[in-house]
Amino acid sequence: MTLTIIQILQVLLNVAWWVIVIQFVLSLLIAFNVVNMQSNFVRSMAYGFDRLTEPLYRPIRRILPQLGGLDLAPAVALIAIAIIRIVLSNIALSALAGGA
């Protein structure tokens, strides 16, 4: 049962990882005018990804210092996800070793 929960958490972390990466790339494309925010599709995508990531970024932004236009919250979130993945993998390995 423990391994199943860990695998589900790892899948959710993978989804969160990709949502953050896609949102970051989309924000860069918008910032450099590669994609047009006048398009309803682009505007909807940007709004949707912002709504998904903002609850994760908000506490990070409270802790990080203001750096002008540079937002480090996505990088910190990705690092946190990587650390959580490592911890979950170690828990899974110790559960497997203990069960053997």
Q: How many domains does the chain have?
A: 1
User: Residue 100: pLDDT band by 50, 70, 90 thresholds?
Assistant: low
pLDDT tens figures, 69-93? 788 999 999 999 999 999 999 999 9
Average pLDDT over every residue of 34-50: 94
| Lookup: tokens for 13 | 């972390």
Count of Cβ atoms closer than 10 Å to residue 52 Cβ: 15
- The Cα 23–Cα 34 span in angstroms is 14
Give residue 57's domain range. Answer: 2-99
What sign does the CA torsion over 49, 75, 7, 84 have?
negative
- Note the pTM of the prediction, 2 decimals: 0.88
pLDDT of 63 higher than 80 = yes
